[in-house]
């Protein structure tokens, strides 16, 4: 039986992954059946070239285009969803979670980022960290603010990291409008954060805080871009997540 050349297989795999989007696709969905066939060779070549990545684990892979490989952001989003879930029978009580409970539902590379994501969300005051003796719990900062009165003191032996005030607000419709103008003019959906900032004419730090929040809520996808060929102006828009500068953003269409 005649098999397709590797280059043609690569184009076929990329087309299927574009269709799959951020959800990704398994080997079965991609049609990679044999570990030694041309499809498997094409898949490995795309991985080696970093055009695609595996969000899952080696035994249970889930492949995505590189622009969708954002395990830290996905871990943050899942953790915030877990921290916001209500527990039957708790009534108005503040819900506390261990780090393991916060990571429920995270698999593969996303699971590997749970510890870093919990730390980052705590640093950003999206999670409240409570310690009683040697035991550490976490709670949603939003729920903490809603359920506990500001004057309520912590119990003896507890330490609480209170949420800090939110940064300056950014008008979402204006950002969306500027993003649509850029994508229409440039012809692609991933735009440079620095270009979006120039289009908006707002302070860069305000835009970065806004995009981080949009990413946590699943309304934006931050991508790495190519740092090595980027100018200083482009690099100024980088959003650094644990040492990895993200230069590009794609916003949900509205």
Q: Write out pLDDT tens, residues 59-68.
A: 899 999 988 8
Asked which of 48, 68, 88 is the last residue of a domain, the reply is 68
Query: What value does the mean pLDDT take over residues 76-85?
Result: 85
Q: Do 197 and 131 belong together in one domain?
A: no
Q: Do 64 and 75 belong together in one domain?
A: no
Whether 193 is covered by a domain: the verdict is yes
Judged by DSSP in three states, 137 sits in: strand
Indicate whether 196 pLDDT > 70.
yes
Asked which of 98, 125, 160 is the last residue of a domain, the reply is 160
Q: What pLDDT, on a 0 to 100 scale, did the predictor assign at position 123? A: 79
> Which structural domain range is residue 208 located in?
172-251
Query: What value does the mean pLDDT take over residues 182-198?
Result: 88
Whether 11 is covered by a domain: the verdict is yes
Asked which of 33, 53, 68 is the last residue of a domain, the reply is 68
What percent of the chain has pLDDT above 70? Answer: 83
Q: What pLDDT, on a 0 to 100 scale, did the predictor assign at position 163? A: 46
Strand partners, 239: 246
Separation of alpha carbons 27 and 30, rounded Å = 5
Q: Do 51 and 87 belong together in one domain?
A: no
Q: Do 85 and 154 belong together in one domain?
A: yes
**pLDDT (tens digit, 9 = 90+) per residue, 96-152?**
889 999 999 999 999 988 988 888 888 778 888 888 778 888 888 877 776 655 555
Q: Do 82 and 156 belong together in one domain?
A: yes
CA separation, residue 42 to residues 9, 62, 208 (Å): 6, 16, 37
Under the banding of pLDDT at 50, 70 and 90, the label for residue 161 is low
Q: Do 184 and 239 belong together in one domain?
A: yes
Tokens of 244: 């990895």
Q: What pLDDT, on a 0 to 100 scale, did the predictor assign at position 25? A: 92
Q: Are 197 and 229 in contact (CB under 8 A)?
A: no
Whether 166 is covered by a domain: the verdict is no
Q: How many CB atoms lie within 10 A of CB 11?
A: 12
Whether 106 is covered by a domain: the verdict is yes
Under the banding of pLDDT at 50, 70 and 90, the label for residue 93 is low
Q: Do 245 and 197 belong together in one domain?
A: yes
Pair type for strands 239-241 and 244-246: antiparallel
Distance of CA 66 to the CA centre of its chain: 13
Q: What is the number of residues in the chain?
A: 254
Whether 51 is covered by a domain: the verdict is yes
Q: Do 80 and 150 belong together in one domain?
A: yes
Domain CATH number, residue 150? 1.10.10
Judged by DSSP in three states, 66 sits in: helix
Q: What pLDDT, on a 0 to 100 scale, did the predictor assign at position 30? A: 92
Q: Which residue has the higher pLDDT, 87 or 82?
A: 82
Q: Do 90 and 144 belong together in one domain?
A: yes
Q: Do 62 and 107 belong together in one domain?
A: no
E strand or H helix at 54: strand 52-54
DSSP character at residue 51: S
Whether 226 is covered by a domain: the verdict is yes
Q: Are 82 and 101 in contact (CB under 8 A)?
A: yes
How much is the pTM? 0.57
Judged by DSSP in three states, 11 sits in: helix
Judged by DSSP in three states, 252 sits in: coil
Q: What pLDDT, on a 0 to 100 scale, did the predictor assign at position 166? A: 40
Q: Are 189 and 167 in contact (CB under 8 A)?
A: no
Give the helix ranges, DSSP H, for the chain: 6-20, 27-30, 38-48, 71-84, 99-102, 108-112, 114-123, 141-147, 172-186, 193-200, 204-216, 232-235
Q: Do 241 and 185 belong together in one domain?
A: yes
Distance of CA 11 to the CA centre of its chain: 26
Query: What value does the mean pLDDT take over residues 217-236?
Result: 83
Q: What pLDDT, on a 0 to 100 scale, did the predictor assign at position 14? A: 93
Judged by DSSP in three states, 227 sits in: helix
Residue of 169, 254, 220 whose CA lies nearest to 22: 220
Q: Count up the domains in the chain and report the number.
A: 3
Whether 133 is covered by a domain: the verdict is yes
Whether 167 is covered by a domain: the verdict is no
CA dihedral 57, 61, 62, 68 (to 10 degrees): 50
Separation of alpha carbons 237 and 245, rounded Å = 9
Q: Do 240 and 201 belong together in one domain?
A: yes
Indicate whether 35 pLDDT > 60.
yes
């Amino acid at each position: 039986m005649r098999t397709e050349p590797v280059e043609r297989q690569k184009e076929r795999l990329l087309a299927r992954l574009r269709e799959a989007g951020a959800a990704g696709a398994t080997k079965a969905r991609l049609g990679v059946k044999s570990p030694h066939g041309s499809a498997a060779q094409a898949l490995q070549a795309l991985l080696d070239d970093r055009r695609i990545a595996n969000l899952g684990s080696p035994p249970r892979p889930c492949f995505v285009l590189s622009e969708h490989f954002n395990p830290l952001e996905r871990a943050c989003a899942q953790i915030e969803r877990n921290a916001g879930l209500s527990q039957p029978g708790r009534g108005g009580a503040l819900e506390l979670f261990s780090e393991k409970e916060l990571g429920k539902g995270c698999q593969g590379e996303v699971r590997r980022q749970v510890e870093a994501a919990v730390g980052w969300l705590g640093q950003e005051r999206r999670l409240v960290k409570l310690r009683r003796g040697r035991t550490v719990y976490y709670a949603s900062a939003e729920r903490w603010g809603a359920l506990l009165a500001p004057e309520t003191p912590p119990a003896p032996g507890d330490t609480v990291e209170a949420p800090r005030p939110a940064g300056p607000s950014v008008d979402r419709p204006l950002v969306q409008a500027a993003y649509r103008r850029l994508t229409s003019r440039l012809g692609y959906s991933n735009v440079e954060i620095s270009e979006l900032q120039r289009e908006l004419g707002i302070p860069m730090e305000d835009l970065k805080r806004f995009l981080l929040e949009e990413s946590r809520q699943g309304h934006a996808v931050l991508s790495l871009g190519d740092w090595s060929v980027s100018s200083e102006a482009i690099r100024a828009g980088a959003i650094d997540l644990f040492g990895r500068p993200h230069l590009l953003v794609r916003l949900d269409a509205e």
